[in-house]
Amino acid sequence: QVQLVESGGGLVQTGGSLRLSCAASRRTLSNYVIGWFRQAPGKEREFVAAIKWSGGSTYYADSVKGRFTISRDNAKNTVYLQITSLKPEDTAVYYCGTTVYREYGMVVITSSYDLWGQGTQVTVYS
C-alpha cells in the first residue's frame, strides 16, 4: 500500500513562504488524485488544493487561489504545495491524501480520500 509523508512545515512570519512536500512511497497510479487539506485547532479539515497524477489538472479552494500553487514531480513521486503571502489564518496542520479520481466534485470532499499522511504543522505569526 502507498504511504504518504508530508514535510516542509514550520514557523513563519506573516507574508513569508513555505513549500510543503507530499512524498509517496511508490509510484501512484495515473488515475489517482493527491489533495492537500488543512485542519486548524477546533475546526474541521478543509480542502486546500488537489492535482491529478495524470494530466496534472489542478483544483483550488477559493480562499487560497493566487497564493497557493500545487505541482507534482512524477519522477520523485512527490506533490508540492507552494504557499506565499502567508497569513496567521493559514496556521494549521496540513495533510495530503490520495484516492482514485472519479469526478470533479469529489476532490474537495475530505471523505473522498482513503489514505492520508501524518501531517505537517504550519504556524504563521504576526
Q: What is the mean pLDDT of residues 52-62?
A: 92
Cβ neighbours of residue 72 closer than 8 Å, sequence gap 6 or more: 34, 51, 53, 56, 78, 79, 80
pLDDT band at 116 (very low <50, low <70, confident <90, very high): very high
pLDDT in tens, 3-40: 999 999 999 999 999 999 999 987 767 789 999 999 99
Q: How far apart are alpha carbons 38 and 110 in whole angstroms?
A: 10
The pLDDT of residue 9 is 98
pLDDT in tens, 63-79: 999 999 999 998 899 99
The phi and psi torsions of 121 (rounded to 5 degrees) equal -85, 130
